[in-house]
Structure 1
């Protein structure tokens, strides 16, 4: 099932500014935070000791630029997440897609390399690998797409045949060619499968409810019954 969305509804699902989960995604782990903090320190030094002395002078502009540079570690996650959201919002058309899980498999992916020296003084390259879940979803029209995400324990609940929902984005008004897809939601398990959390979960749940049941006040009870009875659309 593929239903086009209005531009207003799409912009509610993917806002311009970073949401809380998106900010947390780009906040990263402690080494990532240290890297941002180091960039902040270097940026402050450049503003104060180079721009402030030789170009801008010691004034309010230098002060404000120094504050902005010094707080890079804090506002950078908002900036990078917002850029990613804007890239999605540049696509003019979108739709709500519902299908099913076709296949699941796990792979080990190289995410980085580290260089170190062993006891003999030899240079050794250590590969950092991460186990990832590859999930393929599709529908009766023949459309299918695959998403790769870091493996989590909650992914054990996912199985082929389960219903899957997501937002698809396109440059074509008829959505005949899909350019980008969002997170995948497994409603039977109330489980999100994603690397970067594109969607506002509350807004997505509202869209799913409206398309399934309209304004029916009995929605919560019916959804629970249907999820047990039907595996796919």
Structure 2
């Protein structure tokens, strides 16, 4: 079942600016955080040193000083910009609807998330793959197959079963939704469980909207 959203509902549920959960997600892994720290410190220090080296009356000095401050704050605004870009990928669609259906099928898949080179005890170079288990959910309703969502698997997902009720946003370039462009993160109300790779939605507001529109 698809229930088209009213004007203004999509921007209210997927904000332009990063929420707390979105900021935490985009802060990334320790490796990504370390990378941002290097960029922030190196860029900030170099800009500040250059600003101190130019003439005091130079018009470039305040600009370089501002650039240095921006670099030093990269740890804060970097995740905000990344989250805002992710949100924009769904906010750009002209048509959106609430989907209520069921989990038609589910399965796990091993995905390679990174590779690194190391040496073994004999000093030979070898490549080590970082793998992670992801859970894929196939969604359908009375009209048939809709699409799938996938996300990193953990123990709380063991309770998900075929036939479980699931709700999410469906985004499309067409107002008749004949072609699905994207799906948001999803809510399984029977288990009170949210699933998805990235927290697009303001989740309490989405749950409230479903209570109103799916009566």
- TM-score exceeds 0.5: yes
Question: Segments of 4+ in structure 1 off by > 4 A?
Answer: 49-58
Gaps of 5+ in 1: 214-233
- For residues 108-147 of structure 1, what are the structure 2 equivalents within 5 Å? 108-147=110-149
Aligned counterparts of 2:135 and 2:107: Cα–Cα separation in 1: 6
Aligned counterparts of 1:100 and 1:65: Cα–Cα separation in 2: 50
Superposed CA deviations along residues 51-108 of structure 1, whole A, max 9, x for unmatched, are 7757976632222211111110121111100011112111111000100011111121
Aligned to 1:36, the other structure's residue is in SS state helix
- For residues 163-202 of structure 1, what are the structure 2 equivalents within 5 Å? 163-202=165-204
How far off is 1:50 after superposition? 5.0
Structure 1 window deviating more from structure 2 (90-99 vs 117-126): it is 117-126
Aligned to 1:65, the other structure's residue is in SS state helix
Aligned counterparts of 1:51 and 1:23: Cα–Cα separation in 2: 31
Root mean square deviation of aligned Cα: 1.8
1:64 to 54, 63, 66: 66
Aligned to 1:85, the other structure's residue is in SS state helix
Aligned to 2:178, the other structure's residue is in SS state coil
Structure 1 window deviating more from structure 2 (136-145 vs 122-131): it is 136-145
Matched, 1:155 2:157: yes
Superposed CA deviations along residues 145-175 of structure 1, whole A, max 9, x for unmatched, are 1111100111111100111100001111122
1:227 alignment counterpart: none
Aligned to 1:168, the other structure's residue is in SS state strand
Superposed CA deviations along residues 99-133 of structure 1, whole A, max 9, x for unmatched, are 00111111211111110112222101001100111
Structure 1 window deviating more from structure 2 (173-182 vs 58-67): it is 58-67
Change (3 A) 1:8 1:112: same
2:17 alignment counterpart: 17
How far off is 1:7 after superposition? 3.1
TM-score (norm 2): 0.93
- Asked if the contact 1:52–1:58 (Cα under 8 Å) also holds between the matched residues in 2, the reply is no
1:3 alignment counterpart: 3
2:205 alignment counterpart: 203
How far off is 1:35 after superposition? 0.8
Aligned counterparts of 2:191 and 2:24: Cα–Cα separation in 1: 23
How far off is 1:206 after superposition? 1.5
Aligned counterparts of 1:212 and 1:93: Cα–Cα separation in 2: 18
Superposed CA deviations along residues 162-197 of structure 1, whole A, max 9, x for unmatched, are 111000011111222110100111110010111101
